Structure 1
Amino acid sequence: MAFNTGLSGLRAASVDLDVTGNNIANASTVGFKSSRAQFGDLYASGFLSAGTNPIGDGVRVQDVKQNFGQGNISFTDNGLDLAINGDGFFVLNNGGEIRYSRAGQFGVDKDGFVINNQNMRVQGFQADDDGNLSGIRDDLRIDTANLAPRRTTNLETDLNLDSREEVLEQRVSVLAEVGEAELGAGSTSFPAEIVTLTYSDGTQRNVQIPAGSSAAQVAGIFAQEDGVSASATTDMTVAGLDDAFIAVGNFTFDLELEGVQVPIDTTGVTDLDSLADAINNSSANTVTATVVAGELRLVDNRGQTLTTNYANTAGAVGPQTQLGTVRVQTGREVTDITSDTSTFGTAWDGRTLQITNEFNPQDQRTYNHATSTTIYDSLGNPHVLTQFFVKDQAPGSGVGASQWSIYLQIDGEFVSGTDQTPIQAQFDQDGTLQSIDGDISGQILVTDWTPKDSDGQPNGADGPPAPGVVTTTPLPDPPTSSAFVIDLSDTTQYGSAFGVNDQRQNGFTTGRLSGLDVSDEGVLFARYTNGQSQALGQVALATFNNTDGLSPVGETTWVETFESGQPIIGQPGTGTLGAIKASSVEESNVDLSEELVNLIIAQRNYQANAKTIETSDAITQTIINLR
């Protein structure tokens, strides 16, 4: 009996030494988990009973249990070395057999698969061509092919336009002239007329022109209205008067302005030139007299009605009356002019647009602000888009509203028709963008861009939509033309300096793989030479209801068993799964100090059990020697 007891103790101590020695041997093994031998005593017993005063039969090894506690995490120089900070195991594909490991020393094989030192493939969740992660689990693979270019379909511009800027560009509508030719031959005054002015804010203003008004009076009435300026000029050629008529003798000349006589001293007047000098030296300081092609020409710069009479010894000629001509100009806030007699309504229909300080992209004095960014065509070629901002006059009454003109150029060529008509951006009294050309979304859809090379020729990339094709937002995916959207919805107009807060576009040129990063969530990001990054996949982690039930199979890996239960596989950082630390490995959790102490204990136990056998042998020998 004592021999068996001692032998069981020797066997148990030997297993303890083996376990401790294995722990010490793997103290530097990445991802290794230490083990501990667990013992149980042995007692003899019968069926449904136990002996009285039982004596133990020794000891047996009940289990060798592993300690899955967290090991220290140490930094490495390999970007694909991964450590799990928390619970979970890497999922490895060993030729179809699924294994689980905490050792994260990974690399890439010739086919681009992420593998461990034993060529087992790391499993994870796949990403599509756009970098969107899916829930499909497979072997992780790093695609080393070039990243295909992506055309720009959206540009988000977040900027502030300085509300304190001056209006640089003035746009006026010049109405067709209204005078005797429009009122009828022989007209000496303007008839009664009600002219209705319509403003861009929808308000209207009725302008009353009294019957019998002169051009000067009509211009004065118009000039009192907001957004309207007016002038008048009277141009009269005195008929029948020449040098011969003056030379007859006893020559007199009468001039009336608006029916008021203006004295003209004709003393010493002998011809048309001396008469012109006499008129210019008179009190009619708004009238200029000249001799043109042998005729006397009178011009009144206020548009007053002129009446002339002249006489000599032979007789008198007159009166002659000349009605002035009215010229009206309106700012862009006046959107329409109508009248009850259609005189000035017809003049509005014949208006022309005149621009002072007109926008010129080569002259910085003609625009308030500008900003540029790079966009890309379907071939990945870069192009420079420049946005110019010109402050306009406030529309309508100007109360609580501001307006800016936007011009767009790509590589120095106008797009979106802004070479003909600028895009209008309107802001409210709080500096918030209200609309872009009436569109409250704040977006500009560019549909007329043809990508060109450095010689100004089409470069083969997708161009504008085909004629007749209506392009709307959102643009189709994948896109089929060079059309793209400029989103200005976050643009503001505050009383602070112009500044571009953010400007992002979604295009890029082709890129080569330049590096790889791994996030705490285990997402593998590929970095490319074009500055882009894209998710290639995400490392999968597994956990078990009973981790102690896993079976070690060498190479610092385990396999599931009936006792461990099936794996629960998910993304790092979710549920009870730990986070991923890149460029790091988890060291063995072996405590060498503790193991060395266990080694001494195991050695002492082994020696003590050997002493039990030695003592039993001595007693047995004594019994044998009794005969």
Structure 2
Amino acid sequence: MAFSTGLSGLNAASKDLDVIGNNVANAATVGFKQGEAQFADIYANSLYGAGNNTVGIGTRVAGIAQQFTQGDITVTNRQLDLAISGNGFFRMSNNGAIAYTRNGQFSLDKNGYIVDTNGDRLTGYLAGPTGIINSVSPVDLRIPTGDLSPTATSKITAQFNLDSRSAVNTTAFSITDPNSYTNATSLKVYDSLGNSHDVNLYFVKSSVNAVTNNATWSVYASTDGTTQVGAGPIGTLTFNSAGSLVSQTDSTGAAVTGPITLPTINYGNGASSASMTLDMSGTTQYGNTYSPNNLTQNGYTSGRLTGFTFSADGTIIGTYSNTQSMALGQVALANFNNVQGLIPQGNNLWQESAASGIPIVGVPGGTNLGKLQSGAVEASNVDLTAELVHMITAQRNYQANAQTIKTEDQLMQTMVNL
């Protein structure tokens, strides 16, 4: 029996050395998870049950368990390299066949899909034309190369200080007569075709109430410096003696408490007629020089994709030549109740099994899912020093089991010689 016992020990030690050798060979493999040989003892079955003095008949390899501990994050500064800090796997698709990996070395194929070195496609959630991500079910992630459509300006946000020391202007307003307005400013807006236009705002100090000391300013507007918006002022602003804005009216003279709606603008170039609002909340009338303190609008021209980045939650943010940025999609991660149940497929891939359970798919940073770090990869979690020490131990085990067989052979030879 000692022959079979020693032989089982030799097989177990050999298998242990195989696992160690595989770990050492993959010490530089991105996303690799080291394996560990696990053993179990063997006892012969007895018809009437085992007694207290039963001798075992050797050992066997119970399984090879991979250790899914976190590997070191190595910075590469390569745009499409991704590392998972925490739990989870990248979800890869090969014509619909799904596999999972921790290797985040990705690139773009000729069709714009994000792929690994095997050509499998990274999956996630795509964004719609307005950047809203559809997180219903993961699909192959693709970076769109088309132009970003223009958006017509619909809102102007402006904040000014109007100089309270300015005199009341009694000259009839004309966009061509600088003497007919107190101050003016200009900003660019965009039509539905993405063409830019200059909208000029003119401020005319029209009156000061002798009783309340409230000052009223009329606001006019023009497009491209040639066409007045509306037949008269687009609105009025009234300030109290402390310089605060207390009331507004629109072009019809109706009181408004929020943004002023401008009369419809027709650019005359084939673009849609524009309807804009002008929000001048926070505008003041102090005894300081006139100054625009804030002047923004929400339109932009068309733009071409100039680059993209990944955020910690997996969102892919595209940047465009028109200075706009928009979400293009979001990387999906998957986790399992029992990662030890995953089946290794080679090429840094694992496949789900009945033992692993079904994948729990979500976004990075979600429940029990790690975050992403772009421009970095996760190194192998193999500890070379520990593996070399383990190799010495396995070698000693192999030698000791060989000695068991040698000793048994000597005993048998002695018996034969009797």
The 3-state SS of whatever aligns with 1:603 is helix
Match of 1:74 in 2: 74
Match of 2:398 in 1: 606
The 3-state SS of whatever aligns with 1:588 is coil
Deviations 1:468-518 (A, max 9, x none): xxxxxxxxxxxxx32222222343445555444433322111211111111
Residue 482 of structure 1 is aligned with which of 254, 257, 274? 274
Structure ID, larger Rg: 1
In structure 2, how many angstroms separate the alpha carbons of the residues matched to 1:547 and 1:619? Answer: 48
| 1:620 maps onto 2:412 in alignment | yes
In structure 2, how many angstroms separate the alpha carbons of the residues matched to 1:607 and 1:506? Answer: 77
Match of 2:364 in 1: 572
Q: Cα distance 1:503–1:74, how it changes in 2: closer, same or farther (>3 A)?
A: farther
Deviation at 1:125, TM superposition (A): 1.0
In structure 2, how many angstroms separate the alpha carbons of the residues matched to 1:55 and 1:496? Answer: 100
In structure 2, how many angstroms separate the alpha carbons of the residues matched to 1:500 and 1:87? Answer: 50
* Contact residue 43 and residue 56 of structure 2 kept, 8 A: yes
Residue 406 of structure 1 is aligned with which of 183, 199, 219? 219
Q: Could you list the runs of 5+ residues in structure 2 that have no partner in the other structure?
A: none
The 3-state SS of whatever aligns with 1:536 is strand
| Matched ranges for 1:148-297 at <5 A | 148-157=149-158, 159-162=159-162, 164-170=164-170
The 3-state SS of whatever aligns with 2:36 is strand
Deviation at 1:26, TM superposition (A): 0.8
Q: Cα distance 1:615–1:494, how it changes in 2: closer, same or farther (>3 A)?
A: farther
Deviation at 1:391, TM superposition (A): 2.8
Q: Cα distance 1:498–1:617, how it changes in 2: closer, same or farther (>3 A)?
A: farther
Deviations 1:218-238 (A, max 9, x none): xxxxxxxxxxxxxxxxxxxxx
Deviation at 1:363, TM superposition (A): 6.3
In structure 2, how many angstroms separate the alpha carbons of the residues matched to 1:91 and 1:601? Answer: 38
In structure 2, how many angstroms separate the alpha carbons of the residues matched to 1:502 and 1:561? Answer: 59
* Contact residue 218 and residue 236 of structure 2 kept, 8 A: yes
In structure 2, give the amino acid aligned to 1:79: Q
The 3-state SS of whatever aligns with 1:425 is strand
| 1:371 maps onto 2:181 in alignment | no
The 3-state SS of whatever aligns with 2:208 is coil
In structure 2, give the amino acid aligned to 1:154: K
Q: Cα distance 1:499–1:58, how it changes in 2: closer, same or farther (>3 A)?
A: farther
Q: Cα distance 1:361–1:602, how it changes in 2: closer, same or farther (>3 A)?
A: same
| 1:393 maps onto 2:207 in alignment | yes
Q: More deviation in 141-150 or 369-378?
A: 369-378
Q: Cα distance 1:497–1:5, how it changes in 2: closer, same or farther (>3 A)?
A: farther
Match of 1:461 in 2: 271
Deviation at 1:608, TM superposition (A): 1.2
In structure 1, give the amino acid aligned to 2:247: Q
Match of 1:432 in 2: 245
* Contact residue 433 and residue 490 of structure 1 kept, 8 A: no
Residue 382 of structure 1 is aligned with which of 189, 192, 196? 196
Deviation at 1:380, TM superposition (A): 0.8
Q: Cα distance 1:3–1:492, how it changes in 2: closer, same or farther (>3 A)?
A: farther
Deviation at 1:47, TM superposition (A): 4.4
Match of 1:441 in 2: 257
In structure 1, give the amino acid aligned to 2:266: T
In structure 2, how many angstroms separate the alpha carbons of the residues matched to 1:98 and 1:48? Answer: 50
In structure 1, how many angstroms separate the alpha carbons of the residues matched to 2:284 and 2:99? Answer: 58
The 3-state SS of whatever aligns with 1:152 is coil
Match of 1:61 in 2: 61
CA RMSD of aligned residues (A): 2.1
In structure 1, how many angstroms separate the alpha carbons of the residues matched to 2:9 and 2:304? Answer: 65
Deviations 1:318-370 (A, max 9, x none): xxxxxxxxxxxxxxxxxxxxxxxxxxxxxxxxxxxxx3xx5565666654443
In structure 1, how many angstroms separate the alpha carbons of the residues matched to 2:291 and 2:311? Answer: 34
| 1:115 maps onto 2:110 in alignment | no
The 3-state SS of whatever aligns with 1:12 is helix
The 3-state SS of whatever aligns with 1:49 is coil
In structure 1, how many angstroms separate the alpha carbons of the residues matched to 2:165 and 2:60? Answer: 93
* Contact residue 223 and residue 229 of structure 2 kept, 8 A: no
In structure 2, how many angstroms separate the alpha carbons of the residues matched to 1:12 and 1:621? Answer: 26
Q: Cα distance 1:387–1:622, how it changes in 2: closer, same or farther (>3 A)?
A: same
Match of 1:529 in 2: 321
In structure 1, how many angstroms separate the alpha carbons of the residues matched to 2:292 and 2:417? Answer: 108
* Contact residue 169 and residue 182 of structure 2 kept, 8 A: no
Deviations 1:578-608 (A, max 9, x none): 1111111111111111111111111111111
The 3-state SS of whatever aligns with 2:98 is strand
The 3-state SS of whatever aligns with 1:29 is coil
In structure 1, how many angstroms separate the alpha carbons of the residues matched to 2:121 and 2:71? Answer: 23
The 3-state SS of whatever aligns with 1:537 is strand
In structure 2, how many angstroms separate the alpha carbons of the residues matched to 1:623 and 1:496? Answer: 117
Q: Cα distance 1:497–1:587, how it changes in 2: closer, same or farther (>3 A)?
A: farther
Q: Cα distance 1:484–1:552, how it changes in 2: closer, same or farther (>3 A)?
A: same
The 3-state SS of whatever aligns with 1:612 is helix
In structure 1, how many angstroms separate the alpha carbons of the residues matched to 2:285 and 2:364? Answer: 45
In structure 2, how many angstroms separate the alpha carbons of the residues matched to 1:397 and 1:439? Answer: 21
* Contact residue 167 and residue 390 of structure 1 kept, 8 A: no
* Contact residue 161 and residue 292 of structure 2 kept, 8 A: no
In structure 2, give the amino acid aligned to 1:155: I
In structure 1, how many angstroms separate the alpha carbons of the residues matched to 2:339 and 2:194? Answer: 51
Identity of aligned residues (%): 45
The 3-state SS of whatever aligns with 1:388 is strand
TM-score (norm 2): 0.92
Deviation at 1:621, TM superposition (A): 1.6
Deviation at 1:396, TM superposition (A): 6.9
Match of 1:542 in 2: 334
| Matched ranges for 1:29-40 at <5 A | 29-40=29-40
Q: Cα distance 1:368–1:548, how it changes in 2: closer, same or farther (>3 A)?
A: farther
Deviations 1:72-101 (A, max 9, x none): 111223211111111111111122111111
